[in-house]
Chain A
Amino acid sequence: MKAQVNGTSRDLAEGTSVAAVVTLVGAPDKGVAVALDGAVVPRALWDRTIVPDGGVVEVLTAVQGG
């Protein structure tokens, strides 16, 4: 199946969790948040939340700014 991860189309296995996607993009351990289809997925739910076919995942962290 396909999902949009940080703006890039990716082939993911069925049943891929948000936690797996976070690892896939090489996110650091701390200071990271995830939105799935425009809603925040709390860290405690990353393992249990499955990315649906066509899902849009954004993995964000803090950078220099402002």
Chain B
Amino acid sequence: MDDPLIIAGREFRSRLITGTGGAANLSVLERALVASGTELTTVAMRRVDAAGQTGVLELLRRLGIEVLPNTAGCRTSAEAVLTAQLAREALETNWVKLEVVHDEETLLPDPVELLDAAERLVHDGFVVLPYTSDDPVLALKLQDIGCATVMPLGSPIGTGLGIRNPHNIELITSRASVPVVLDAGIGTASDAALAMELGCSAVLLATAVTRAQDPERMGAAMRCAVEGGRLARLAGRIPQRFWAQASSPGL
């Protein structure tokens, strides 16, 4: 079945976007990425240090996976805009996963700084994929100023708490016209499947795979979960009932 994910006119066959953080080493990361089937993967921008580069860019290039730079670690709009501009210069892509977090304890998005940064980056010609809270109003505002997707969290980054407010996610998917990507909080395969069943167009995750006991196997599990959830969404689930309804004919 041909059912591509389309972001800013670009088609992807995989609806799983992955991060590269948290993997024990590059060989573990490579096996997990391949098993996940991802075609778009995030990297962070950091100072060059004496220890040299990590080799993650070469790995992604070799695997034919598109690079999606993020602005992780930025706390203000100004920092995020500069980081995005540096990423565009370094990686020759105008795509950016925009993250502007408020504090280290929660890593929750700062909505005021986020909206400001998104507006500036859209104006500067970027394809902006913003990591946002699960606030349906903020999601619509991000869409309206020209973001290519909206990426609400299921729960805080790295917690694995799954989707804490499924109704909010469904409110967002029911009103957004750009793809909705569930970003952050995924713990296991059922969380990813639920995101797709709620109408998300894709799932973005990192920790759930890279820090799993067997990252390669969890990568495969997430691929299956996203595909299964997408199929179930398209198939249309049965309504929930209070009383039983026999599926065999009466005697």
A binds B: yes
Q: Are A62 and B19 in contact (CB under 8 A)?
A: no
Please report the C-alpha to C-alpha distance between residue A59 and residue B44 in the assembled complex, in whole angstroms.
Answer: 14
A33 touching B86 in the complex, CB below 8 Å, given contacts A64-B20, A65-B21, A65-B44: yes
Which stretch in A9-17, A34-42, A47-55 binds the other chain? A34-42
The answer for the CA separation of A60 and B44 in the assembled complex, in Å, is 10
Known: A26-B52, A40-B82, A42-B89. A60 touches B206 (CB 8 A): no
Given known A26-B52, A60-B90, contact A65–B82 (CB-CB < 8 A): no
Q: How many A residues have CB within 8 A of the partner chain?
A: 26
Tell me the B residues contacting A by CB distance below 8 Å: 19-23, 29, 42-50, 52-54, 56-57, 67-70, 72, 82-83, 85-91, 97, 99, 206
Known: A33-B86, A33-B90, A66-B72. A61 touches B21 (CB 8 A): no
Instruction: Choose one: B44, B48, B89; the contact of A66 (CB below 8 Å).
Output: B44
Q: Please name all residues of chain B whose beta carbon is closer than 8 Å to the beta carbon of A28 when the two chains form the complex.
A: 48, 52-53
Tell me what chain B mostly uses at the interface: helix, strand, loop, or mixed.
mixed
Residues of chain A within 8 A of B47, CB atoms compared: 6-7, 58-60
A contact residues around B52 at 8 Å (CB): 26, 28
Q: Are B29 and A60 in contact (CB under 8 A)?
A: no
- The reply to whether A66 and B206 form a contact with Cβ atoms under 8 Å apart is yes
19 interchain pairs, CB-CB under 8 A? A7-B47, A28-B53, A31-B53, A31-B57, A31-B90, A39-B82, A58-B47, A58-B86, A60-B47, A60-B48, A60-B83, A61-B46, A62-B56, A62-B57, A64-B29, A64-B56, A65-B43, A65-B46, A66-B206
Any B CB within 8 A of the CB of A32? yes
The complex places the Cα of A63 from the Cα of B90 at a distance, in Å, of 12
